[in-house]
Chains A and B, each alone.
Chain A
Amino acid sequence: MVKHVKIAATAMAVCLSMSALAACSSKSDSSESGGSASASKPSISVSVFDRGTVSSEEGTYESNRWTKWINENSPTKVDWVPVPRNEAQTKLNTLIASGSAPDLIWEYSRDYIVQLANQGAIQPIDEYLDKYSTSYKAYLESHSELLPYLKIDGKMYAVASERGIDSVANHGMWIRKDWLDKLGLDAPATVEELLEVARKFQTEDPDGNGKDDTVPIVFNYNFPGILQAFFQANSTQWYAEGEGVQLGRLLDRYEDYLSLHKQLFDEKLIDQEYITDSNYTRAMQNWTTGKAGILFGSWNMESQYRDLVANVPDAEMVPLESLETKYGKNGLYQEAPPGIYVAFNSDMKEDEIEAAFKFLDWLIDGGWEPLKQGEEGVHYQDVNGVPQTIDADKFKTEAGYAYEYAIVNQSAPQPEWFPIMAASDEVSQAYAKQKAASLETAMKNTYRRDIAYAPGMAELTQLMATFDPIAQQIEAKVVTGGPGMTPAKGMEELRSEWKRLGGDTINQQVNKWYAENKDQLTTK
């Protein structure tokens, strides 16, 4: 195995260095085949994230029980090309540059797919979809909200299926219900109430240890995003304002976000050293040791729940719904509907594209089900339509990795499934209940997203990459800078820096792009 990798690496290195002299475009067909399918079947290659979860008894990402199962049952033979998860884009770029990329290339990031399209590495597929696809085409017709995301400059460059709601929901907030009850408070529903509750948590010793040592609010990297969502002003998102679009960071509403963030800091309702707590270890420590009352993070925070209950058995960690401001109530950040984006290598010939669509049709028709759930009676049993895992360890080793292969699927777990799917011990069941409630809470309010995605023009990404660190620093100074640095002054600086970097021209370009593409950008 190691030897294999070494040979492959050497081949790659040689190939790369040769490409310095002449573009190396020989297509390597040496990838191991994953089964003994009949030779008459057409074959394609597809990338797959290597998360290192295939055990050695199971085989490899290229060849295991599921790749064999796919090759026996699908109309197309598939060779899987693993790319390490944590450097997927780099590895894919290398494969593409050396001409040995797989036929189907997929990633979670739409921006990446846009870049591939700009690089000419993938091809538009509109005509082939009509010509060769049946089931996926029908799926797309009934899920037309996916379409704006799949198109780049009016042409369709990728296929995708809809996320289940458990992966649409993202940001979330949690609160200690036992603290609320102890102090006779209701869960906050507005931003003002949040401040009230946080102040009481700070001064009235909710953990009852007689010491003034509670941190009312702790958070992870989602914190600014959650505060910004209250005011419908996500820093990197474009909002339809009046006739055109404006960057969230430059909106008047953004000043409200800065004021709230500053107020939380000035009143010491958040950690005074949050700036250097870049891994959020201090914050999570405060939460799990029962020193904090409100947690801004994700809707699903199982390990924090388990650690907290282990340390403070009486703790009741319950989800908290998004808060109302003078602008109304906005949901917390949710993902856009498409799951992974599957794109077609520009080297693909028409017959290969046909084979690829056959495979995708087969997957979306039901081929995905065993890949997500395992084999019925072996890995799961059907409990009133809910796939209940029989043996968690067996599932994990034998089927836990297979979901990677279901690149399009119709998996849609529901909140009420969680208690049935969870293990039967007390903590797992208690958390499953909260998890279900949290998912419902997270999906209760829709998250404001006026246009499907930001434009991919190079000038804009360049400007954003330059502007972002400057803006971050201004914001940090506003929050931690005391009375000398007001949010209004911060906004002034943000706007003048944006101008200095040539933001006005970019604004015009983005608005022109918006006017031209308006009809395919609307998300509803």
Chain B
Amino acid sequence: MSGTKSELAAFATDRDEVIVRRQSRWKRVAQDRSLYVMLLPVIAFYLLFKYAPMGGEIIAFKNYRFVDGILGSDWVGLKHFRLLFQSPDFWRVLRNTLLLNVYSLVLGFPAPILLALMLNEVRKELFKRVIQNLLYIPHFISWAVLGGILIAVLSPSTGVVNFVLERVFGLEPIYFMASSAWWPAAYTVSSIWREAGWGTILYLAAMAAVDPQLYEAAKIDGAGKLRQIWHITLPGIRSTIAILLILRMGSMMDVGLEQTLSLQNSSVLDVADVISTYVYRIGLQNMNYSYSTALGLFQSLIGLILVVGVNRVIRLIGERGLW
């Protein structure tokens, strides 16, 4: 929009010309009016359900009480933010949240790309379909169930992992889920287990769009499989990776409540207590709506900064970003 406006300003030497252009634009709108009418409900939806509720964010700066309502509650300025940043345990919770996200970004983000690359090279169609479906299954199982499976698999007395460690490597059994050192690893692996297969879908679609002639040309030039992947497939899905990375950055401050609650236990709370469990405890269980809104606003702000920052970096290295 702003681009067209400045273009207009640059080129419009004559006032009349501008008016003519405006008229023609209205004419075009009039021509497509049925399309615009169909757009209206969507705009209304976004205004009503996405933008209007944002007005409620002001309770972060108020002392919200039910009876007084959102507008009627007293203003308290930055009190809730001050409480938040002064709370000794907010930083612990923030650190845990960021650490878990960094682990799953570093290990979890490349996982579906690797999987998709491997799947893309599978030539037996039946085999490929079977593997794909097996990889998708965990995505449809709830965390409560997956958590139970993970705890059983990692159990020091009856779990298969410790059985292998003991029999094959002669190691002492490790209580993975109750160790503050191992728990983040188990958490990250569980995220990959559940989501990596599902994440391949977008990459596989992007790979399907790569021009087959490129591969043929590369083959003629004597490129092997790895060379083809490096020089053709990966560059072909670069923009998809970039977009997904930017979107992923937006959720760097989130850790799934359900996943954390089903995996955490009392002996790992120093690494497993995250923002979502903290909000659940302090905000919802104690009706501290203003406080948890302040926290949510802070979370969104950091998320926004990360998205904008990464988008800028991605554009600097010559990819198309989100905008």
List residues of chain A with CB under 8 Å of any chain B CB.
13-14, 16-23, 25, 90, 93, 96-97, 115-116, 118-121, 272-273, 275-279, 281, 346, 458, 461-462, 465-466, 468-470, 472-473, 475-477, 480, 500-501
Q: 19 additional contacts, CB 8 Å, given A20-B52, A281-B148, A473-B270?
A: A17-B48, A19-B70, A22-B71, A97-B69, A118-B65, A119-B65, A120-B68, A273-B178, A275-B175, A275-B266, A276-B265, A458-B286, A461-B286, A465-B285, A465-B286, A466-B89, A469-B273, A473-B268, A480-B267
**Selected A-B contacts with CB under 8 Å, 28 pairs:** A17-B48, A17-B53, A19-B70, A20-B53, A20-B54, A20-B55, A21-B55, A93-B287, A97-B66, A118-B287, A121-B66, A121-B67, A273-B175, A276-B155, A276-B178, A278-B151, A462-B286, A466-B87, A466-B88, A466-B89, A469-B266, A469-B269, A470-B89, A473-B266, A473-B267, A473-B269, A473-B270, A476-B265
Residues of A close to B288: CB separation below 8 A: 458, 462
Instruction: Assess whether A93 is in contact with B88, with CB atoms less than 8 Å apart.
Output: no
Q: How many Å from the CB of A489 to the closest CB on chain B?
A: 16
Cα–Cα distance between A152 and B263 once the two chains are bound (Å):
38
Q: Does B49 contact A (CB under 8 A)?
A: yes
With CB as the reference atom, state the residue of chain A lying closest to B283. A465
Instruction: Assess whether A476 is in contact with B266, with CB atoms less than 8 Å apart.
Output: yes
B65 contact from A14, A120, A276, A462, Cβ within 8 A: A120
Q: Does B236 contact A (CB under 8 A)?
A: no
How many cross-chain pairs have Cβ atoms below 8 Å apart between A and B?
112
List residues of chain B with CB under 8 Å of any chain A CB.
48-49, 52-56, 65-72, 87-89, 148, 151, 155-157, 175, 177-178, 265-270, 273, 281-282, 284-288
Of B52, B66, B72, B269, most buried by chain A (CB within 10 Å of CB) is B66
**Provided the pairs A13-B49, A465-B281 are in contact, do residues A119 and B55 lie with their beta carbons within 8 angstroms?**
no
Residues of B close to A116: CB separation below 8 A: 66
**Provided the pairs A17-B52, A276-B265, A473-B267 are in contact, do residues A25 and B68 lie with their beta carbons within 8 angstroms?**
no
Cα–Cα distance between A24 and B189 once the two chains are bound (Å):
46
Instruction: Assess whether A470 is in contact with B269, with CB atoms less than 8 Å apart.
Output: yes
Residues of B close to A275: CB separation below 8 A: 175, 177-178, 265-267
With CB as the reference atom, state the residue of chain A lying closest to B284. A90
Cα–Cα distance between A475 and B288 once the two chains are bound (Å):
28
Cα–Cα distance between A20 and B65 once the two chains are bound (Å):
14
Residues of A close to B155: CB separation below 8 A: 273, 276
Binding site secondary structure of chain A: helix
Instruction: Assess whether B267 is in contact with A476, with CB atoms less than 8 Å apart.
Output: yes
Q: How many Å from the CB of B94 to the closest CB on chain A?
A: 14
B70 contact from A23, A121, A272, A273, Cβ within 8 A: A23
**Provided the pairs A17-B48, A20-B70 are in contact, do residues A273 and B269 lie with their beta carbons within 8 angstroms?**
no
With CB as the reference atom, state the residue of chain A lying closest to B271. A473
Cα–Cα distance between A16 and B52 once the two chains are bound (Å):
10
Cα–Cα distance between A262 and B144 once the two chains are bound (Å):
29
A20 contact from B56, B87, B151, B287, Cβ within 8 A: B56
Cα–Cα distance between A146 and B65 once the two chains are bound (Å):
28
With CB as the reference atom, state the residue of chain B lying closest to A25. B69
Cα–Cα distance between A156 and B65 once the two chains are bound (Å):
20
Instruction: Assess whether B69 is in contact with A273, with CB atoms less than 8 Å apart.
Output: no
**Provided the pairs A17-B52, A20-B53, A121-B66 are in contact, do residues A477 and B267 lie with their beta carbons within 8 angstroms?**
yes
Cα–Cα distance between A120 and B68 once the two chains are bound (Å):
8
B71 contact from A23, A466, A480, Cβ within 8 A: A23
Of A25, A273, A500, most buried by chain B (CB within 10 Å of CB) is A273
Residues of A close to B71: CB separation below 8 A: 22-23
Q: How many Å from the CB of B158 to the closest CB on chain A?
A: 8
Instruction: Assess whether A276 is in contact with B177, with CB atoms less than 8 Å apart.
Output: yes
Residues of A close to B268: CB separation below 8 A: 473
Cα–Cα distance between A444 and B136 once the two chains are bound (Å):
56
Instruction: Assess whether A500 is in contact with B266, with CB atoms less than 8 Å apart.
Output: no
With CB as the reference atom, state the residue of chain B lying closest to A24. B69
B66 contact from A93, A462, A466, Cβ within 8 A: A93
B52 contact from A21, A119, A121, A462, Cβ within 8 A: A21
Q: How many Å from the CB of B147 to the closest CB on chain A?
A: 8
Cα–Cα distance between A115 and B216 once the two chains are bound (Å):
70
Instruction: Assess whether A119 is in contact with B287, with CB atoms less than 8 Å apart.
Output: yes
Residues of B close to A22: CB separation below 8 A: 71
Q: How many Å from the CB of B295 to the closest CB on chain A?
A: 13
